[in-house]
Amino acid sequence: DYRFSESGIYKCPDNSDTGTVDDFLAYVDSLPLTDPPEVFGMHENANIAFQDQQSAHLLNLVLSIQPREASGSGKKPEDVVLELAELMSSRVPQIVSTETAHPTSFGYDPETGMMYSLGTCLGQEVNKFNRLLSLLSKSLVMLQNAVKGLIVMTADLDSMFTALTNNQVPGLLSKVTYPSLKPLSSWFEDLIL
């Protein structure tokens, strides 16, 4: 009477020593069609997270197959993206300089001659933020040029175009940006604060 799960649904069949093939097939047919997380030793919240990911994937798929043509008297997607890219480009902050920081921000310990840990962490975060600002500025200018037809629309720029159309943070920035679940408009407002 060994149980593989707490609910007792997944267990060795009662007649596993003497059962026939038909008995085992009947037992297998009695199991649920979808496996609950408990089978894999996970909490029920894992199922909620899975369903959330599936829903997000489905919505992203629906957005990705949305036509890029304007209907009626609305703006074309190219015009909307170009306008948004120009607006964002004009609002991207300048590169952060450590030279203008408070003198104690990057201070050194007089005993060891090493920078305080706060300064080390701050320096790393400033470098990461500067990489993000630089990539964002460069990619927005390139996207504007690609939409205008001045340069070739690469796969990265095309995915950025789609992301801006759908109010999502571009995947191009995912390697250098901080994790966020916010849509592009809210993410950008947080970035420029």
CA distances from 72 to 42, 49, 64, 76 (A): 50, 39, 21, 10
Can you tell me the distance from the alpha carbon of 74 to that of 185, in angstroms, rounded to the nearest whole number?
20
Residue with tokens 């037992």: 27
The answer to whether 150 touches 157, Cβ cutoff 8 Å, is no
| 188: confidence class by pLDDT, cuts 50, 70, 90 | very high
* Diameter over CA atoms, the chain: 81
Give the least confident one: 35-39, 72-76, 122-126.
72-76
72 pLDDT exceeds 60? Answer: no
The answer to whether 102 touches 127, Cβ cutoff 8 Å, is no
Q: Which pLDDT value is given to residue 92? A: 94
Give the least confident one: 64-68, 69-73, 114-118.
69-73
Entry pTM = 0.68
What is the percent of the chain with per-residue pLDDT over 90, rounded to a whole number?
42
The answer to whether 36 touches 10, Cβ cutoff 8 Å, is no
70 pLDDT exceeds 60? Answer: no
